[in-house]
Amino acid sequence: MPLASITRRSQIREAVLEGRMEEALRLIDLVDPQVTAKAKELETVGGFCDS
C-alpha cells in the first residue's frame, strides 16, 4: 500500500474520531469516489437504517 494511501487513511480515521464528518467524507471521496457515490445512492432508496 502506498505511503500516501496510509497517510490519507490515518487522516480519515482522525477526522472521524474527532467528529469532523464532513472532512472525513471529503477525504474518503479523494481515496475512493465510489464509496460516497454508493452511500448517496443508498440514501435515496432508503438503504440506511436509523436503529
Q: Does a structural domain hold residue 7?
A: yes
Q: Are 24 and 50 in contact (CB under 8 A)?
A: no
CA distance 44 to 2: 34
Specify the pTM: 0.68
Q: What is the domain extent for residue 17?
A: 3-44
Q: Does a structural domain hold residue 50?
A: no
Q: Are 25 and 36 in contact (CB under 8 A)?
A: yes
42 CA to centre of own chain: 14
Split into its structural domains, the chain has a count of 1
49: cell is 437504517
Predicted confidence at residue 51, as pLDDT, reads 47
**Average pLDDT by consecutive 10-residue portion of the chain (51 residues)?**
83 97 93 84 65 47
Q: Does a structural domain hold residue 51?
A: no
Q: Does a structural domain hold residue 35?
A: yes
20: cell is 469532523
Q: Does a structural domain hold residue 49?
A: no
